Amino acid sequence: MVQYIIRNAKLIIEEIVKNIWKALLSSFGIILLIAFLVLYLSLRDSVTNFVEKRLFGSLDINEIIIEPKAKTGEATLSYAINSIPAEKVKAIRKMNNVASVYTVTCINAATKIKIELLGKSRAPYVPICGISQQFIKDKVPGYKSFRYYTNEPVPVIAPQVALDMFNNFAAINNLPLFNEDTLKGLPITIIINTPKGTETKKRFEIPAVIHSFSTLFNLTGIVVPDTFVNKIAAQYAAETKSDQPILYIRLYAKVKDVKKLPEVTKQIKSMGLAVTSLDEVASKTNQAMSIIDGFSIFVGFFLLLLTVISIFNSYLIIIYNRSYSFSLRRILGVSKFRIIMTFMVEAAFIGAVYGFIGYTAGAYLIKAAGAKLSSLVPALSGIGLEPVGMNVCAGLVLFSIAISSLSALIPAIFASNMNLFKALSKQ
């Protein structure tokens, strides 16, 4: 058996080398298809990891975020929102299935952070929320220093995505990439302007410093100690004499039993509040992924069809060219089954080799794309593009073998049934 396989492999390699251009053309589709699948699967994997790390990573399976509801029904940070009334917070705390509730106090005003880096100054709008030190206990390294002292810069926990933005900035300016440690302690300025429509205009500029980066919070903005937020709110109320609250709160609640999550979510929603849980994040992510999947399946199917047709046609030509050899073998006593198997083994071998080439090409492309992604598409910075692993490679090679063999099956049957004497007399 081993001898048979070695002999066949030798013959197949000789046959491929002899017809290298034909073989390349016939199986180019396989390389294209497998490379596309590697690209798609790698991209999907990387995006999924990114989403999981950035969104799901900020929440445990049994955690939910409770926010005031905007008119559209979505949670919002717009200025016209309502805060969560105190009695509702109390009611949530008293729920049987809720283990703990942490309050996040957010500033309801136009807030910016001003960053000066390498001689350039930027001041993007960024939401600011305050949390207690207890909330991040054992979750953020150096949480003990996350404390606000009057007359000292405010410690700021920035979302992980901010680090990617810094690195994006570095990549554009041909600078070495930053890591967390190099940016820790970077002085920034928090700017708070009074909301539009308020009678008394007020602008606060408070020095701050980057404390750390974290994926812990499902927030688009930065996190500061709640004592600072409360102080600003009090100062704002005193200086503007405004009765419009500058703060609103959102709650992080932990459900005792994950099975009760839908029930708790339903109860809180019935209180007129917006709830974000892993379920909801997952469903939104899945919705987006299903669109990507749909498109990819369409492209993949199209490539698959092209591949199958090209292999099928190429094999018909190969069979015509080799009809003499196969007819002679049949006449000398080789069975139909063995003729079919010869073709199938050959096609499988080509499928394996080209499947691997396809994987290598796809992996190379995804690595090249990964290196350029942050500078080409800043919005996608932070997505670490990595080719799919060797287990997927094995799967794709098997898939390639199956496609190649099945595409060659009908031509192989045709070869086994050809008019042998006619084929011989053709030579």
Q: Which stretches within 278-321 are classed as H helix?
A: 278-321
Nearest distance in Å: CB 8, other proteins: 13
Cα dihedral 84, 85, 90, 92 sign? negative
Nearest distance in Å: CB 333, other proteins: 2
Considering only 48, 182, 290, 419, the residue that binds other proteins (CB under 8 A) is 419
Task: Give CA–CA dist 327/114, Å, rounded.
Answer: 81
Query: Would you count residue 409 as binding other proteins (CB under 8 A)?
Result: no
Task: Give CA–CA dist 126/116, Å, rounded.
Answer: 16
Query: Would you count residue 390 as binding other proteins (CB under 8 A)?
Result: no
- Our CB check for other proteins shows the closer of 39 and 339 to be 339
Task: Give CA–CA dist 314/324, Å, rounded.
Answer: 17
Which single residue is written with the structure tokens 């709650």? 251
- Our CB check for other proteins shows the closer of 288 and 331 to be 331
> 163, 147, 164: which is closest to 155 by C-alpha?
147
- Our CB check for other proteins shows the closer of 179 and 417 to be 417
Query: Would you count residue 78 as binding other proteins (CB under 8 A)?
Result: no
Q: Identify whether the C-beta of residue 82 lies closer than 8 Å to the C-beta of residue 248.
A: yes
Task: Identify which range of 122-130, 216-224, 245-253, 335-343 contacts other proteins by CB under 8 A.
Answer: 335-343
- Our CB check for other proteins shows the closer of 301 and 421 to be 421
- Our CB check for other proteins shows the closer of 90 and 422 to be 422
Q: Identify whether the C-beta of residue 346 lies closer than 8 Å to the C-beta of residue 408.
A: yes
| Beta strands 120-122 and 128-131, pairing class | unpaired
Nearest distance in Å: CB 29, other proteins: 29
The set of residues, in sequence order, having a beta carbon less than 8 Å from that of 75 and lying 6+ positions away, is 65, 67, 68, 69, 250, 274, 276
Which single residue is written with the structure tokens 């598409």? 377
Query: Would you count residue 335 as binding other proteins (CB under 8 A)?
Result: yes
Query: Would you count residue 61 as binding other proteins (CB under 8 A)?
Result: no
Query: Would you count residue 425 as binding other proteins (CB under 8 A)?
Result: yes
- Our CB check for other proteins shows the closer of 4 and 21 to be 4
Considering only 10, 336, 367, 372, the residue that binds other proteins (CB under 8 A) is 336
For residues 10 to 49, the per-residue mask of contacts with other proteins, x marking binding by CB under 8 A and - elsewhere, is ----------------------------------------
Query: Would you count residue 3 as binding other proteins (CB under 8 A)?
Result: no
Query: Would you count residue 367 as binding other proteins (CB under 8 A)?
Result: no
Query: Would you count residue 427 as binding other proteins (CB under 8 A)?
Result: yes
Q: Say whether 93 sits in a helix, a strand or coil.
A: helix
Burial class (CB in 10 A: 0-12, 13-18, 19+), 291: exposed
Nearest distance in Å: CB 328, other proteins: 6
Give the pair of three-digit tokens for residue 27: 């199986």
Q: Identify whether the C-beta of residue 212 lies closer than 8 Å to the C-beta of residue 188.
A: no
- Our CB check for other proteins shows the closer of 286 and 417 to be 417
- Our CB check for other proteins shows the closer of 14 and 263 to be 14
Query: Would you count residue 145 as binding other proteins (CB under 8 A)?
Result: no
Q: Say whether 88 sits in a helix, a strand or coil.
A: helix
DSSP string, 342-399: HHHHHHHHHHHHHHHHHHHHHHHHHHHHHHHHHHH-GGGTT-------HHHHHHHHHH
- Our CB check for other proteins shows the closer of 100 and 419 to be 419
For residues 295 to 334, the per-residue mask of contacts with other proteins, x marking binding by CB under 8 A and - elsewhere, is -----------------------------xx--x-xxxxx
Query: Would you count residue 337 as binding other proteins (CB under 8 A)?
Result: yes
- Our CB check for other proteins shows the closer of 380 and 424 to be 424
**Maximum distance among all alpha carbons in the chain?**
106
Task: Give CA–CA dist 334/352, Å, rounded.
Answer: 26
Nearest distance in Å: CB 416, other proteins: 9
By CB under 8 A, name the binding residues for other proteins.
324-325, 328, 330-338, 419-421, 424-425, 427
